[in-house]
Chain A
C-alpha cells in the first residue's frame, strides 16, 4: 500500500484553531530567535564563523569515508567499540544485541534524533527492554506517545497544563499542579531511581572528532552525562555526518551551536567522551540510514551539514504557526521539509510546499545550508516524480498554457470570452476557494491596467505585434479605476 501524504495544511489548521497553544508556541520560539540575534550581535565574527562551519562540514562530507575510518581507528584505540549500521533496522539490532548479551533490560537515554529515525523504542520494547528518556521534553513526549515536535525543545508545543495532565496520568501527580518547578521536580523524582538502577545508558552525539576518535555531547540538563556514566555501559548513536576532522574545529561549532539554538553562549554541559570508564564499556554506532544516498544528491547533499540547532525552526513563520507535529515526521520545520522526502518521497511530498520560500531559515542557519533554495528545488523534483496531487498539477498545466497565449489570457481575465473553457473551472474555483475562508477577496476594479493603458497611451502599444481585442464596454473613463 502506498503511504498516505502528510496533511500538513490540515494539521496546521487544527493547531491554529487552538489560540492559547498557538500564541505560546509562536512567542516562545520567536523569543529564542530574538535571543539568538542578541548573541549574534555580540560576536562580530558571526558570519565568518558560519562560513568556516560550512566549509569544515563540506570538507568533512566530501571526504567522509576517510574521516570515518580515521575515527574508527582512533576510537578503537581509545577502547571504544565501533559498530556500523546501514539502516534503522541494523541499528536497532545492534543495540538489542549489545543489551541482550549483557542481560540488560533497562536502558536510559538522552536525546538522539537518530534513534527516533530508527524507531528504536518499539523495537526494544518488543524484546523486553524498557527505554526511559531522561531529557525532560523528550520524556514528556515519550509518555504522551508523540514524536518530538522540535529537535531541541521536543515538547515546545505543550503548555504546562498539558504536561501536568501527562504526568498525572503516568506519575499520579496532581493534574492541576502546573507550576514548572513542581513539574520538573516530579520528573526528577520519577527519573532518579530509574537512572540509578538502569542496566545501560544511551546518548546521541553532536560531534565526532576523526583525529582523536572522541565525541562530544552538548546538553543543558546534564542528563546525557548521567545516562552515559551511571550504568557503566554507554552506547552512543550518531549519524555518519556528525564527523568533524579536528578537535580544533569544535571551537567553531560549539560557539555556534547553542547561540543558534537557544540564544545562550554555550550549553550547560559540553562533554567530551574519550573512552570507557574503568571497568565499563563504550559503544559507538555509526548510522547511515539514507545518508550516503543523500550525499550523492547534487542539489540536496549539503543538508547533511546540519548540526541540529533548530534555529531554522525557531525563525520559520510557518513552523511557529503549525507546530512540529503537523509535519508528521521525525524532523519537522524547514530542515525536516528538505530531508524528510529523502526517507519517503510520497509521504512527505507536501512538506516542501509548507513554506512561503521567505528565506529566513537560510539566513539563520549556522552552517549556511541554502534551505529555502532546497525547498524550491524539492518542489521541482516532486512534481517531476509525479508527487503533486492531480488537480493542482492540472491547474498549473493549464495556467502555464494560458500565460503563453496573450489573446486567450486577455479574453480570460476580461471575461469576454470563455477561454476558460479548456480549464477545469470547477477544479480551479474549488481550489481557489480557501482564499476567502479567513480573508476578503480583492476589490473588483472597473478596468484592468491593460485596458487603461490602451485608452490612455495607445501609440507605443500599437507597435506591438500581439494584438488584443478592445473591450467596447470600457470607454470614457480616465483615472478612475475603481479603487
Chain B
C-alpha cells in the first residue's frame, strides 16, 4: 500500500514533532510512506469560513499531490473531515472522489485499516486525559458520543490502552468542545478562550498530567489557554505516544 502523508499547515509550522512521529510510526508499522513536498493545506480554513470558492486552489493542489496514493493519512481529524465530507469547491472528478474516499485520520487508519494490535515500543507512565476533537468525535465518529447514548466505544482509547504504563483521567464533560473552531478562535476570541480554559481545568481537576489528542489544533489552543492560566498540564499528540515518546 502506498501511503501519502499529509501534514497540515499548523502542524508543519508549530508541531513538526507530530509530523515526525506520524511518519516514523507508519514506517515502523511497515508502511511505504511518501510526503509530497508540494503540499500546503486541505482548504478547510477557507471552506469553514463560508469562503468556499477560495478553498478551490488548495483543494485542487491537494488532489494533485495525493491522487497517486492508495491511502492518504493525516494526524488531524478536522482536515480528514474536511476532505471526506466537505471538499466540494472543485468539480468532483474521479481523482477527487478517489482522494476523498481514501483519506484517513491517523487513528482511523491505525485502528480500522492496519488494525494494529500492539505498540511494543510504546511506554507512557503518566496519567492522560483524552481529548476527542469534535471532528474526530462527531464527524469521523472514532468514539461514541454522549448525546446519543450509544454503547461506549473509542478507537483512540483502544490504541492508547495498548501503551505500557499509561493511565487515564476522565474529565467531567469529556465530549465538550474545547472552543478552537478554526477562525472561530479569533473571531469569537472571548468565548473560544473561555471554552479552552474550562476544558483544561476539567482535565486538570480530573488528575490528568497530559492532554492527549488526535488534533494538534485543539492542542495548540488548549496549551495556549493552560499556559496563560498557569495550569500545569502538558500536551501531546496521540501519534507521539504511539510512536514511543518518552518524556
Which residues of A are interface residues toward B (Cβ below 8 A)?
Answer: 8-9, 12-13, 16, 22, 26, 30, 37, 40-41, 46-47, 315, 317-318, 321-322, 352-360, 362-364, 376, 378-384, 388, 392-393, 396-397, 399-406, 409, 413, 431-435, 437-443, 445, 447-450, 452-454, 457, 460-461, 463-468, 479, 481, 483
Contact = CB atoms under 8 A, between A and B. Distances in A.
B155 to A, nearest CB: 18
B37 A466 contact: yes
Nearest to B148: A363
Contacts of B34: 460-461, 463
A225 to B, nearest CB: 33
B51 A383 contact: yes
Interface string B173-192: 10111011111111111111
A435 B185 contact: yes
Contact of B12 (A360, A441, A450): A450
A247 B12 CA distance: 59
Nearest to B7: A449
B20 A392 contact: no
Contact of A406 (B14, B38, B49): B38
A406 B17 contact: no
Interface secondary structure of A, over-half rule: helix
Nearest to A363: B147
Interface in B1-58: 7, 9-20, 23, 34-41, 43, 45-46, 48-58
A410 to B, nearest CB: 8
Nearest to A11: B190
Interface residues of B, number: 79
A319 to B, nearest CB: 9
Query: Which 4 pairs from chain A and chain B are nearest by CB?
Result: A404-B57, A466-B38, A400-B54, A379-B50
Given A321-B195, A413-B9, A40 B149 contact: yes
B246 to A, nearest CB: 13
Contact of A439 (B40, B60, B86, B225): B225
A454 B145 CA distance: 40
Given A321-B198, A403-B46, A445-B16, 15 more contacts: A9-B187, A22-B194, A321-B195, A356-B192, A384-B50, A397-B51, A400-B43, A400-B56, A401-B57, A404-B40, A413-B13, A442-B15, A443-B14, A457-B23, A468-B38
B158 interface: no
